[in-house]
Amino acid sequence: MHKKVALAALLSLPLALLPGAPLHGDLAAADRAPAAAAPVVVPLRHPVADITPKAREVERLAEQVVLQKNLPGLAMAIVQNGRVVSMRTFGVTEVGSNQPVTSDTVFRLASLSKAFAATISAQLVAEDAMSWDAPIINQLPAFKLRDYAGAQKVSVRDILSHRVGLARNTFDRDLERDSPYELLAERLSDAPMACTPGDCYAYQNIAFSLIGDMVFADTGDFYSHQVEKRIFHPLGMYNSTYGREALEASASWARPHVRRGSGWAAERPKENYYRVPPAAGVNASIHDMSQWLIAQMGHRPDVLPPALLNEIHTPQVNTPGELNGSPWRRERLLNAYYAMGWRVYDYSGHTLIFHGGAVRGYRALIGFLPDEDVGIVVLWNSESAAPSGLLPSLMDRVTGMPPRDWLGVADPESGEEAHD
């Protein structure tokens, strides 16, 4: 059984007592793979009643946000107790077309990709092919930082929890200017440091993607192929791929949309963040992501055992900056941490495992309440922030929080009024 009790308890611990914590605070549909195995129902600490009626309310909100915000397309899945209670798609793959978004339409996941990197790392650790805490220079002897001594101690755990010591988003702008990953990884040796490695949190994409190099060093195989073999195929994620070429070869795929005047314009997906597959390289459909969510919630122990999930969901470092930003974070979050490839929030007294993602023309989010065994994933092909409110809309309903309009849309059946 996935140790949800232990995870919830961790949220109340001082940072210094968290496992692996630093000493200081936070400075193609026609060729489907075989069907996935039936989910296993995991006993709950705080079981909740069937949420299907609440899911229908959130479906209605999703439809309204697409219509009222004039969004190109959106896909959403809600799961409970190892089963999909809602899977809805809205809109089109490209403005001006009549091709609808379906459950097999592929979107870019952006930073939701990071959880796949953490998961495959945990699989390799379980096989003794990788270590959480051994220095990565044992496998990557060319790795260097400006802090030479600190670089000798950087571990897989540090990389996956963004504690490499570099300044936030180091070299992301260079990546966006089409600099190759290999050159940027080499330039980490001269990048400004924010702290001694292991002592602070600062979100990364280039440094995070060193995990791909580690997987190759430990398996002799390409990172993307290992994820396909170990995760996509066993979970029945038959539309999931890596890279722009694979996205554009999909039978149905959502084009990215950027704002153009008062509307949206489609464009070709940018290649840059595909160059860092562990950080932002996955493409997937909402069908696939529902299976991924079920597995992360503990219902596919044949692929992701409880001990593995406990490792990657355990908080590693405090991230108080996450308490700001969107209204639901400001109003609902009491504490925020980064685990490995996942964020862990205290959502008004309830543990929430979460991650968001954004690249040009796409947005995505995934989150679940492990104690209540309820989760949601939303994918959309535009840069609107509005659909982000679907997650707290569901979480509030599940946890019994007072009603709050997180979306700014009019729900014709609830009497809520829209606002901007």
pLDDT per residue as tens, the chain (420 positions): 343 333 333 333 333 333 333 322 233 332 333 344 555 544 556 678 999 999 999 999 999 999 999 999 999 999 999 999 999 999 999 999 999 999 999 999 999 999 999 999 999 999 999 999 999 999 999 999 999 999 999 999 999 999 999 999 999 999 999 999 999 999 999 999 999 999 999 999 999 999 999 999 999 999 999 999 999 999 999 999 999 999 999 999 999 999 998 899 999 999 999 999 999 999 999 999 999 999 999 999 999 999 999 999 999 999 999 999 899 999 999 999 999 999 999 999 999 999 999 999 999 999 999 999 999 999 999 999 999 999 999 999 999 999 899 998 754 443 332 222
Span 245-256, pLDDT tens digits? 999 999 999 999
285 phi and psi angles, rounded to 5 deg: -95, 170
Give me the pLDDT at residue 408, please: 83
pLDDT at 339: 98
pLDDT attached to residue 262: 87
- Structure pTM? 0.89
Query: What is the 3-class SS of the chain, one letter each residue?
Result: CCCHHHHHHHCCCCHHHCCCCCCCCCCCHHHCCCCCCCCCCCCCCCCCCCCHHHHHHHHHHHHHHHHHCCCCEEEEEEEECCEEEEEEEEEECCCCCCCECCCCCEEECHHHHHHHHHHHHHHHHHCCCCCCCCEHHHCCCCCCCCCHHHHCCCEHHHHHCCCCCECCCCCHHHHHCCCCHHHHHHHHHHCCECCCCCCCCCCCCCHHHHHHHHHHHHHCCCHHHHHHHHHHCCCCCCCCEECHHHHHCCCCECCCEEEECCEEEECCCCCHHHHCHHHHCEEEEHHHHHHHHHHHHHHCCCCCCHHHHHHHHCCCEECHHHHCCCHHHHHHEEEEEECCCCEEEEECCEEEEEEEEEECCEEEEEEEECCCCEEEEEEECCCCCHHHHHHHHHHHHHHCCCCCCCCCCCCCCCCCCCCC
Residue 416, number of CB atoms within 10 A of its CB: 17
Q: CA-to-CA distance for 174 and 47, rounded, in angstroms?
A: 47
* Residue 416: per-residue pLDDT: 32
The CATH superfamily label for domain 4-109+244-399 reads DD-peptidase/beta-lactamase superfamily (3.40.710.10)
Domain spans in the chain, listed from the N-terminal domain onward: 4-109+244-399, 122-219
